[in-house]
């Protein structure tokens, strides 16, 4: 086995990992940063984010409004001190990306333009057409190239962490190209491996989004927080699940049922007006819109396609010129994949899994409870998304907290000194090789993956029932036992994707188990976690708390809870449309009265 000594090890080279690497390289050029990714950095799934990234810039907008939209959007399960920090850092981070070359779309006067997004009261979403994630990722990757202290390990798959003496000491990588192992020893590790949406069958995620980092931390005793909150994005391609950005609606698109009705008016989001109005109708939050689809399907109001039931995303009234300027990527997708010109015909869409709100438990400094282990981006739960993430808060998150993670890792590495080498790395290699060569019972792991994904859709979907969640928990446990007896067809070492995907499935099953058990234990409805079995209401007395899933090896995870940090926004009624406007007015009146008293 090869050995490499670093000061900081970053797992994942998407937006958060690259931002962390740059921050670490800038603040401590003398430290060696190992940046590991199972794909070349520009393939990371940040690349597929379309709509944009939040940051308050307009004079009639305020950090207070971004704070309140985020906290209410998360159904009050957000860490409010973290949200405060987050909203204050978004715009400076977006300017930083601009200085690094990100081609943000502009107004005619040359200033940055912003667009409307779901659940946001004022337009504050910075965008680069509808390729915002692509441009952020490429900007960060290309910017990172100028820092010689960043040593990349491209197409290296992390097999396990090394921990000793109560802290992290490094990790073991499999070079996908050669099939050989490398131990990277480092006193500080940043996990930035993204989400886990591939545990579901219809999802917007790339094949690499398999929850690796979440599972790695979890298996080493770090709790996964709020894993029951999984976001279904309401406008995705039926069959493949590919994403049609929320920016379609930000630019004015309508959602219609088979009668041509803007049905969202029937779900507390109206009134329906011809112009998009922030926090009304199509600009409601993702959880509410996906739930409305579920009801429309059961009412028989959806449009049947060969790929399943859909509603219609209508962009026709925007006109061809605006569609081409603001939404070129999704027009191309509609045309190539579905044969639809969105200037001429509406696009059939349906909800698909998009984002994991929960993740590795970290504090406002991105530090996990395991000394030396930090996490940022979708794999982490720093506490800004609560029970439902608002669109455009995740690209901002990876910049804001990627930077924090890089700087915190520097501080920790300097204080802790070099990592201790141990013999654990050999045991990790031996275990990975045992999987490669195990005789097993002849079963293919691909079959297990499909069963896992179908079971998650059934038991942990848009609406949830106890018996179905129970069944999913049981199915996942059974799949985990079967995975221990699969037989790999490919026994070779170079580019053995049979082997790597089997290890990914192991990660996925552990993350899925944390999701399903956390979901079953939360006997209330909040944000993206909605039940139909007698727990249809939010229950603040019992569940204004974060869930924590603890890994228990072969046994089911245990679930306990921690308090939510409430600083100044007590839980209120979460409403959109006309009712939301009333709530908002009442809140502002109270705030003004409070100010008057001071």
C-beta of 155 vs 520, nearer to another protein = 155
Interaction with another protein in 201-220: which residues (CB under 8 A)? Answer: 201, 206-208
Q: Does 395 bind another protein (CB under 8 A)?
A: no
| Non-local CB neighbours of 209 within 8 Å, separated by 6+ positions | 45, 194, 195, 196, 197, 198, 203
Contacts of 275 (CB under 8 A, 6+ apart): 252
Q: Segment 445-464, which members bind another protein (CB under 8 A)?
A: 446-447, 449-450
| Residue window 109-148: x/- pattern of binding to another protein, with contact defined by CB under 8 A | xxxx------------------x--xx--x---xx-xx--
Q: Which two tokens stand for residue 465?
A: 């029932």
Residue 152 backbone dihedrals phi, psi, to 5 degrees:
-85, 145
Q: Does 85 bind another protein (CB under 8 A)?
A: no
Q: Which helix (H) or strand (E) holds 189?
A: strand 188-191
Measured distance CA(35)–CA(21) in Å, rounded: 7
Which of residues 39 and 387 has its CB atom nearest to another protein in the complex? 39
> Which strand (E) or helix (H) includes residue 60?
none
Q: Is 388 in the site for another protein (CB under 8 A)?
A: no
Binding span for another protein by CB under 8 A among 271-279, 405-413, 465-473, 488-496: 488-496
Phi and psi for 8 in degrees, rounded to 5? -135, 135
Examine residue 553 and tell whether it contacts another protein (CB under 8 A).
Answer: no
Nearest 10 degrees: Cα torsion 406, 411, 417, 422: -40
The set of residues, in sequence order, having a beta carbon less than 8 Å from that of 459 and lying 6+ positions away, is 468, 469, 470, 471, 472, 473, 475, 516, 519
Q: Does 333 bind another protein (CB under 8 A)?
A: yes
Binding range to another protein, per CB under 8 A, among 106-114, 273-281, 354-362, 533-541: 106-114
- Report if residue 490 touches another protein, rule: CB under 8 A: yes
Helix orientation angle between 80-99 and 63-73, rounded to the nearest 10 degrees:
120
Provide the angle, in degrees to the nearest 10, between the axes of the packed helices 497-521 and 445-459. Answer: 20
Q: Kindly state whether residue 240 participates in binding another protein, applying the rule CB under 8 A.
A: yes
> Nearest distance from residue 142's CB to another protein, in Å?
4
Could you say whether residue 243 binds another protein (CB under 8 A)?
yes
What sign does the dihedral 255-257-263-269 (CA atoms) show? negative
507 binds another protein (CB under 8 A): no
Candidate list 3, 221, 441, 497; residue touching another protein; CB under 8 A: 497
Burial of 565-590, coded b for 16+ CB within 10 Å and e otherwise, reads: eeeebebeebbbbeebeebbeeeeee
* Residue choice 100, 151, 365, 465 for contact with another protein (CB under 8 A): 100
In the complex, least distance from residue 440 CB atom to another protein, rounded to whole angstroms: 12
Token pair for 450? 């499909």
Nearer to another protein, 409 or 448 (CB): 448
Q: Which stretch binds another protein (CB under 8 A): 103-111, 354-362, 364-372, 404-412?
A: 103-111
Rounded least distance, CB 141 to another protein, Å: 9
Taking the complex as a whole, how short is the minimal distance between the CB of residue 547 and another protein, in angstroms?
30
Which one of residues 26, 62, 85, 95 is an interface residue with another protein (CB under 8 A)?
Answer: 95
Residues annotated as part of the active site: 233, 249
Count of residues that interact with another protein, criterion CB under 8 A = 65
Is 336 a binder of another protein (CB under 8 A)?
Answer: yes
Query: Where would I find the beta strands (DSSP E) of 457-496?
Result: 463-464
474 CB burial (10 A radius; 0-12, 13-18, 19+): middle
* Sole binder of another protein in the list 15, 74, 213, 238 (CB under 8 A): 238
27 binds another protein (CB under 8 A): no
The two tokens of residue 547 are 């869930």
* Contact residues for another protein, defined by CB under 8 A: 39-40, 42-45, 47-48, 92, 95-96, 98-101, 103-104, 106, 108-112, 131, 134-135, 138, 142-143, 145-146, 154, 177, 201, 206-208, 238-240, 242-243, 306-308, 329, 332-333, 336-337, 444, 446-447, 449-450, 488-490, 492-498
């Amino acid at each position: 086995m090869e050995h490499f000594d670093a000061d900081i090890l970053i797992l994942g080279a998407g937006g958060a990992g690259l931002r962390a690497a740059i921050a670490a390289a800038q603040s401590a050029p003398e430290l060696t940063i190992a940046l590991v990714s199972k794909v070349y950095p520009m393939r990371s799934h940040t690349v597929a984010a379309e709509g944009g990234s939040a940051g308050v810039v307009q004079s009639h907008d305020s950090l207070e409004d971004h704070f309140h939209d985020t906290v209410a959007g998360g159904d009050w399960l957000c860490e409010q001190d973290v949200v405060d920090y987050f909203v204050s850092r978004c715009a400076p981070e977006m300017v930083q990306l601009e200085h690094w070359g990100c081609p943000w779309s502009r107004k005619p006067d040359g200033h940055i333009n912003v667009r409307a997004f779901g659940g946001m009261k004022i337009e504050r979403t910075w965008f680069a057409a509808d390729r915002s994630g692509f441009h952020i990722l490429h900007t960060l990757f290309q910017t990172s190239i100028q820092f010689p202290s960043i040593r990349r390990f491209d197409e290296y798959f992390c097999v396990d962490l090394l921990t000793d003496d109560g802290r992290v000491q490094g990790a073991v990588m499999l070079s996908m190209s050669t099939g050989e192992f490398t131990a990277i020893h480092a006193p500080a590790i940043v996990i930035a491996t993204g989400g886990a949406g591939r545990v579901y069958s219809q999802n917007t995620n790339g094949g690499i989004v398999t929850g690796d980092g979440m599972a790695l931390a979890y298996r080493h005793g770090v709790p996964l927080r709020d894993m029951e909150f999984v976001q279904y994005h309401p406008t995705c391609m039926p069959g493949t699940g590919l994403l049609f950005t929320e920016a379609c609606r930000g630019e004015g698109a309508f959602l219609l049922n088979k009668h041509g009705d803007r049905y969202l008016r029937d779900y507390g989001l109206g009134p329906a007006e011809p112009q998009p109005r922030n926090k009304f109708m199509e600009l409601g939050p993702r959880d509410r819109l996906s739930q409305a689809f579920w009801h429309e399907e059961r009412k028989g109001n959806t449009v049947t396609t060969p790929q399943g039931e859909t509603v219609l995303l209508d962009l026709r009234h925007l006109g061809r010129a605006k569609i081409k300027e603001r939404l070129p990527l999704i027009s191309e997708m509609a045309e190539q994949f579905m044969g639809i010109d969105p200037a001429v015909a509406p696009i059939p869409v349906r909800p698909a899994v998009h984002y994991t709100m929960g993740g590795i438990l970290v504090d406002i400094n991105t530090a996990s409870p395991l000394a030396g282990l930090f996490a940022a981006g979708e794999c982490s739960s720093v506490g800004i998304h609560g029970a439902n993430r608002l669109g455009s808060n995740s690209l901002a998150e990876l910049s804001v907290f990627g930077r924090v993670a890089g700087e915190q890792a520097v501080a920790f590495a300097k204080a802790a000194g070099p990592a201790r080498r141990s013999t654990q790395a050999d045991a990790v290699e031996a275990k990975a090789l045992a999987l490669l060569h195990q005789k097993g019972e002849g079963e293919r792991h691909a079959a297990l993956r499909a069963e896992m994904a179908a079971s998650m859709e059934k038991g942990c979907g848009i609406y949830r029932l106890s018996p179905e969640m129970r069944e999913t928990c049981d199915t996942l446990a059974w799949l985990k036992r079967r995975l221990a007896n699969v037989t790999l067809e490919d026994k070779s070492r170079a580019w053995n994707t049979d082997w790597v995907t089997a290890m990914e499935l192991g990660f996925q099953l552990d993350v899925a188990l944390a999701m399903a058990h956390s979901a079953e234990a939360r006997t209330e409805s909040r944000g993206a976690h909605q039940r139909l079995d007698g727990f249809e209401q939010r229950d603040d007395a019992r569940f204004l708390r974060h869930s924590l899933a603890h890994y228990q090896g072969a046994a089911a995870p245990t679930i306990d809870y921690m308090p939510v940090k409430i600083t100044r926004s007590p839980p209120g009624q979460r409403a959109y449309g006309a009712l939301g406007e009333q709530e908002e007015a009442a809140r502002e009146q109270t705030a003004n009265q409070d100010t008057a008293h001071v």
